[in-house]
A and B are shown apart, each in its own frame.
Chain A
């Protein structure tokens, strides 16, 4: 009896091909944790991200340093900005702290980056 074999069911859920995505602009901070308010995306819609062509160099380029709001990020980016000033002075850096919390959207910022940024450094997550 001790060595007889049992058949049991797999307790795990089945991969669905549905992914969570960012919350709606201006949504409550906790909304991202709520499946009822969290938009979803099917794997068919989830096309691989096409990366942007890279710059030849950063000389005389405008690079946005975007602080996402995690603890320490602003101070970290001030150090990054100092580094560019000392080591690559032709790079124009713009330090921007994202509005709201780290989960909040900021459509105006994305529009500004599209128009004015040659490159973006984004962080610091975690």
Chain B
């Protein structure tokens, strides 16, 4: 409006986000004439809105409507006529040497962690982590920001390794963590709506690094699942520059964000083709698939009708159902020999103008202790290759890899299920 069309504009945003838009404007060279009514504007009585319009801007103390009129009529100042975009300073590779205690304090107080203890990324530890891939440490893996419009931060293989060390991972996990990073999706996002995220691993790498795809796979009972999921959050914080109250605005937050929902798909017990194969990869390839949304409902029962009931009650724009293998088996027995057929049936029955078959995803995860499914309104954003990050000699396992106990007897010694 302003620059291209020459139409003077008075933008309005609630006072809760005044700092954010002012900062964002400075870094975009958009020093607009904002007006800030009190917060919130949504779901308040009409008389409250009347009071906002008749009252003052709580940030500036100026009568709100006078401020709007002035925004359109007061002549431009010199700084408004000649705005400048400040450059953000480059960050050092190494931090100032300090004691272990002081560095832990620095990381915590700088909000470079998730609030839980971390492993400090010393040069030695990062160098060891980098043995988990053949890629050049300075190779750029991607960019991300937790606020979609903000300047994105670039990250290299080495930066990914730093965050993998912090999460407590070992070199065997690095290819999967690099694949997650290559998807360029932060697991947390600045929306007020408290997003949750999920990463699901497919292919041979699941079993090589001991991921749990069976009983309790989404829970805190597996080393690989936990550190891969946690590394994603640490990368999102540090690559996305997430800063609570500055660019991160989730009003309640999401408990899933600590380590996200991270597991492998239970390909061995699924009656369907694996998720990555349905998305164009070969069965022998290893991948990560990243998902994000708001809601998770764990206890779902029933087959196709049960899924439809959830869709009708959620009113989402996308669904990712996590099915115990027993549920997938039951659905196949009902005639849904592939998930696409089921998606199409659900879209037809749901009769929603927004829903498309490709917006409904199915993952098979679980230990067959109960035919239960989990409903999420997660969007599937991307499936990325793990194989490209695996060293030529294969996954670099420790001499004696760390593995947590498997709770259920295994049929084949790998997946944690009968």
Residues of A near any B CB (own CB < 8 A): 2-21, 29-30, 32-36, 38, 40, 43, 46-58, 63, 70-73, 75-76, 79-80, 82-83, 87-88, 110, 113-114, 117-126
Contacts and interface: CB of A to CB of B under 8 A. Distances in A.
Interface stretch (B155-163, B215-223, B296-304, B333-341): B155-163
Interface of B: 1-3, 5-14, 16-17, 21, 28-33, 35, 37, 39-44, 46, 49-50, 52-54, 65, 68-69, 72-76, 80-85, 87-95, 97-101, 103, 107, 112, 120-123, 126, 142-145, 148-155, 158-159, 162-163, 166, 184-185, 189, 192, 234, 238-241, 292, 317-318, 379, 381-382
A30 B382 CA distance: 13
A72 B43 contact: yes
A55 B97 contact: no
A57 B73 CA distance: 6
Contact of B184 (A35, A58, A71, A122): A35
A18 B152 contact: yes
A40 to B, nearest CB: 7
B31 A13 contact: no
A4 to B, nearest CB: 7
A33 to B, nearest CB: 6
A12 B112 contact: yes
B10 A83 contact: no
27 contacts: A6-B100, A7-B122, A7-B123, A9-B126, A10-B95, A13-B152, A13-B239, A15-B90, A18-B152, A20-B145, A34-B381, A43-B87, A48-B29, A50-B2, A51-B32, A53-B8, A53-B76, A58-B72, A70-B42, A71-B42, A72-B40, A76-B52, A76-B53, A120-B7, A122-B9, A125-B21, A126-B41
A36 B326 CA distance: 35
Given A11-B163, A54-B72, A46 B13 contact: no
B99 A18 contact: no
Contact of A17 (B44, B151, B238, B240): B151
B239 A6 contact: no
Nearest to B76: A51
B8 A21 contact: no
Contacts of A32: 148
A20 B107 CA distance: 28
Residue in A5, A57, A113, A126 with the greatest tally of chain B CB atoms within 10 Å: A126
A5 B53 contact: no
A62 B379 CA distance: 42
Contacts of B107: 11
A42 B108 CA distance: 32
A36 B234 CA distance: 21
B143 A75 contact: no
Residue in A17, A48, A49, A82 with the greatest tally of chain B CB atoms within 10 Å: A49
Residue in B81, B148, B153, B154 with the greatest tally of chain A CB atoms within 10 Å: B148
A32 B190 CA distance: 13
Given A9-B121, A49-B29, A55-B72, A125 B13 contact: yes
A40 B31 CA distance: 20
B153 A16 contact: yes
B123 A9 contact: yes
Contacts of A70: 41-42
A9 B11 contact: no
Nearest to B50: A79
A108 to B, nearest CB: 14
A41 B153 CA distance: 13
A53 B10 contact: no
A71 B166 contact: no
Contacts of B2: 49-52
Contact of B1 (A36, A43, A76, A113): A113
A46 B154 CA distance: 18
B256 to A, nearest CB: 17
A2 B14 CA distance: 49
Contacts of A88: 69
Given A7-B122, A14-B155, A51-B81, A119 B10 contact: yes
Given A30-B379, A113-B7, A122 B12 contact: yes
Contacts of A73: 41-42
Contact of B8 (A19, A54, A76, A123): A54
Contact of B88 (A10, A15, A51, A79): A15
A120 B8 contact: yes
Contacts of B95: 7-10
